[in-house]
């Protein structure tokens, strides 16, 4: 990123690190820990991969850490015929795989007593009424007070039929307790479909009952962005156009489409990553300080960023967007096939698996500061990070040193795979000569944390039970991001010109044209 030397060489050559993380004398300041009220969690699509790999392992972890209410039960609902015991056996294998070294058989046996299963046809009103009878009986047994959280772990095409049946069967109607619904992304595939989906769901649930999940927002570093920015007086004054040169946001994966070909072929990287994850990270980076650390205030400031995003000029789209699709290549020494050779993918597919975009936030704080955003599959390494590059020094005191050799200060908020915050700055090397070297101040969550570490799904599940919508996306934000991206998608998909796909090898940093987005010739994407 805007450096005459490769960032990887810098960090390896000058491996000096200032370790951060041990609490100083004042100790930690923590809010009172909350345990959710007793409730029922009903998972639609419970026989699927998301439930087995993510949801149940997350709930089991929360239970072992004492963060779930004692009077919680979980009902799986799906079209697959299965008994309670078969359902528990299926989930046990998922948890064993997730906790290969720490799996506790006795703890699982106790947890499994809370698990139940009900075969449910999503188009059958009678099946939902039968499910309601099961839930009423379990509510009395577990004394939940009628609190219910419905989780739609299903393809987007099923959101409408399931919420329709929840409404017509009376399961959405609160009877003494709350009713909430958690909806996975993608929320629509363009502005029109998102609005239609909102209109339908609002016939059954109010906006306060709808929890649109974006699991990226549950990651520890993402949550810490707000604390880092607004609770430290040394950073907030320089978080603006006067000191920041540009911002880079990257979400790179080494994986291909895996078992998601059916979905991904009709979505592509812009729908899959940009409309939700990437623009949410941009909003958290660019937002103003909220008046208070509460869901409505934080979400309003994020929405203001979406309102301020400059529309992409379609007549100069190539200056703001670069698309790519991976071909065959090498990942960690192993040969991998190209996207068009993946099972379930069209041989002449024009679906992009990589995108790099340039955004501008037209407000007082960020006027003139470009935000470069990229995401892709089959990249050189897996990393998600936000890099804030500060402006170069205005005057070079060391006349013998060329300006190109002075790397700018960079603040790196690493979200995955290793959650950390790093600050690159210049120091003098030991010795007689005034030689500069770049060093890293490095704070790693894994090294410093003393509390219970929660991953993304653990955090959002807990917050949904608590009714805290801070990490969930509200209706206006969804519509604003689709308003920005829908014209771009239409321009791409209505273009008769066949893109030169594949245009990057698997295991690389994406198409070379992506570098042309950066405004100065010496700027570079951070290396992957």
Question: In the prediction, which pLDDT does 324 show?
Answer: 96
pLDDT digits (tens, 9 = 90+) for 318-350: 999 999 999 999 998 999 999 999 999 999 999
Q: List Cβ<8 Å contacts ≥24 apart for 264-268.
A: 264/351, 265/344, 265/345, 265/346, 265/349, 265/351, 266/189, 266/351, 267/186, 267/189, 267/351, 268/351, 268/352, 268/353
Confidence of residue 492 (pLDDT cuts 50, 70, 90): very high
pTM given for the model = 0.88
pLDDT digits (tens, 9 = 90+) for 6-53: 444 444 433 344 444 444 444 555 554 689 999 999 999 999 989 999
Query: Which of 13 and 528 is assigned the larger pLDDT?
Result: 528
Do residues 445 and 419 make contact, with C-beta atoms less than 8 angstroms apart?
yes
Confidence of residue 240 (pLDDT cuts 50, 70, 90): very high
Q: How many CA atoms lie within 13 A of 207 on its CB side?
A: 9
**pLDDT above 50: residue 5:** no
| DSSP character at residue 508 | B
Distances (CA, A) of 200 to 23, 42, 162, 259, 260: 49, 20, 11, 29, 26
The structure tokens 């007070």 sit at 145
- Quote the CA–CA distance of 422 and 388 in Å, as a whole number: 11
Do residues 431 and 443 make contact, with C-beta atoms less than 8 angstroms apart?
no
Average pLDDT over residues 294-305: 93
Do residues 440 and 423 make contact, with C-beta atoms less than 8 angstroms apart?
yes
Question: In the prediction, which pLDDT does 23 show?
Answer: 47
- Percentage of the chain surpassing pLDDT 70? 88
Do residues 510 and 381 make contact, with C-beta atoms less than 8 angstroms apart?
no
- Percentage of the chain surpassing pLDDT 90? 66
- The string of DSSP letters for 61-75 reads HHHHTT-S-TTEEEE
Question: In the prediction, which pLDDT does 528 show?
Answer: 83
- Quote the CA–CA distance of 419 and 417 in Å, as a whole number: 6
Q: Which of 200, 215, 246, 277 is catalytic?
A: 277
Q: Which two tokens mark 113?
A: 């007593």
Question: In the prediction, which pLDDT does 448 show?
Answer: 59
Q: Which two tokens mark 221?
A: 């570093």
Question: In the prediction, which pLDDT does 16 show?
Answer: 40
Query: Which of 16 and 368 is assigned the larger pLDDT?
Result: 368
**pLDDT above 80: residue 478:** yes
Residue 515 appears among annotated catalytic residues? no
- Quote the CA–CA distance of 185 and 214 in Å, as a whole number: 7
Of 31-35, 140-144, 415-419, 452-456, which range is least confident? 31-35
Give the per-residue SS3 of 429-479.
Answer: CCCCCCCEEEEEEEEEHHHHCCCCCCCHHHHHHHHHHHCCCCCEECHHHHH
- Quote the CA–CA distance of 497 and 485 in Å, as a whole number: 20
Nearby residues of 310 by Cβ (< 8 Å), 6 or more positions away: 359, 360, 361, 362
Of 1-5, 174-178, 371-375, which range is least confident? 1-5
pLDDT digits (tens, 9 = 90+) for 258-299: 888 888 999 999 999 999 999 999 999 999 999 988 889 999
Nearby residues of 38 by Cβ (< 8 Å), 6 or more positions away: 69, 70, 71, 72, 142, 143, 144, 145, 147
pLDDT digits (tens, 9 = 90+) for 59-116: 999 999 999 999 999 999 999 999 999 999 999 988 988 887 788 899 999 999 999 9
Q: Which two tokens mark 423?
A: 């600050």
Question: In the prediction, which pLDDT does 433 show?
Answer: 63
Of 13-27, 34-48, 454-468, 499-513, which range is least confident? 13-27
Confidence of residue 454 (pLDDT cuts 50, 70, 90): confident
Question: In the prediction, which pLDDT does 129 show?
Answer: 96
Confidence of residue 223 (pLDDT cuts 50, 70, 90): confident
| DSSP character at residue 379 | B
């Amino acid at each position: 990123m805007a450096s005459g030397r490769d960032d990887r060489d810098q960090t390896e050559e000058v491996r000096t690190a200032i370790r951060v993380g041990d609490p100083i004398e004042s100790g930690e300041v923590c809010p009172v820990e909350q345990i959710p009220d007793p409730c029922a969690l009903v998972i639609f699509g419970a026989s699927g991969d998301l439930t087995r790999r993510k949801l149940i392992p997350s709930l089991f972890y929360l239970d072992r850490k004492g963060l779930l209410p004692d009077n919680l039960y979980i009902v799986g609902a799906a079209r697959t015929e299965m008994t309670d015991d078969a359902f528990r056996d299926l989930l046990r294998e998922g948890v064993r795989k997730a906790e290969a070294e720490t799996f506790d058989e006795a703890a699982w046996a106790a947890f499994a007593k809370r698990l139940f299963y009900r075969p449910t046809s999503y188009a059958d009103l009678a099946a939902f009424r039968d499910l309601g009878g099961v839930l009423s009986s379990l509510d009395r047994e577990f004394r939940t007070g009628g609190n219910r959280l419905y989780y739609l772990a299903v393809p987007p095409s099923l959101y409408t039929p399931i919420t329709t049946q929840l409404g017509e069967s009376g399961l959405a109607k609160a009877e003494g307790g709350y009713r909430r619904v958690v909806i996975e992304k993608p929320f629509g595939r363009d502005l029109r479909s998102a609005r239609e989906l909102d209109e339908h769901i609002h016939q059954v649930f109010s906006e306060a009952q709808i929890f649109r999940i974006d699991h990226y927002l549950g990651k520890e570093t993402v949550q810490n962005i707000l604390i880092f920015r607004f609770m430290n007086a040394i950073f907030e004054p320089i978080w603006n156009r006067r000191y920041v040169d540009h911002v880079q946001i990257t979400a790179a994966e080494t994986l291909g489409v895996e078992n998601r070909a059916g979905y991904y072929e009709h979505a592509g990287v812009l729908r899959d990553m940009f409309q939700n994850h990437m623009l949410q990270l941009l909003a958290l980076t660019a937002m103003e300080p909220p008046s208070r650390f509460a869901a409505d205030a934080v979400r309003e400031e994020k929405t203001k960023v979406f309102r301020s995003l400059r529309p992409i000029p379609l007549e100069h789209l190539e200056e703001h967007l670069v698309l790519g699709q991976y071909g065959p290549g090498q990942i960690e020494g192993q040969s991998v096939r190209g996207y068009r050779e993946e099972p379930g993918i069209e041989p002449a597919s024009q679906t992009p698996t990589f995108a790099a975009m340039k955004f501008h936030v037209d407000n007082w704080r960020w006027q003139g500061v470009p935000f470069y955003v990229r995401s892709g599959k089959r990249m050189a390494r897996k990393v998600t990070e936000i890099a804030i590059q500060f402006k170069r020094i205005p005057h070079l005191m060391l006349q013998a040193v060329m300006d190109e050799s002075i790397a700018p200060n960079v603040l790196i908020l690493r979200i995955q795979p290793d959650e950390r915050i790093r600050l690159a700055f210049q120091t003098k090397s030991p010795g007689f000569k005034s030689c500069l070297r770049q060093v890293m101040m490095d704070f790693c969550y894994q090294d410093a944390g003393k509390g219970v570490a929660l991953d993304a799904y653990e955090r959002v599940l807990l917050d949904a039970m608590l009714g805290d919508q801070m990490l969930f996306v509200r209706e206006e934000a969804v519509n604003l991001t689709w308003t920005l991206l829908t014209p771009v998608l239409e321009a791409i998909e209505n273009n008769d010109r066949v893109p030169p796909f594949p245009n990057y090898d698997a295991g690389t940093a994406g198409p070379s044209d992506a570098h042309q987005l950066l405004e100065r010739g010496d700027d570079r994407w951070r290396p992957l």
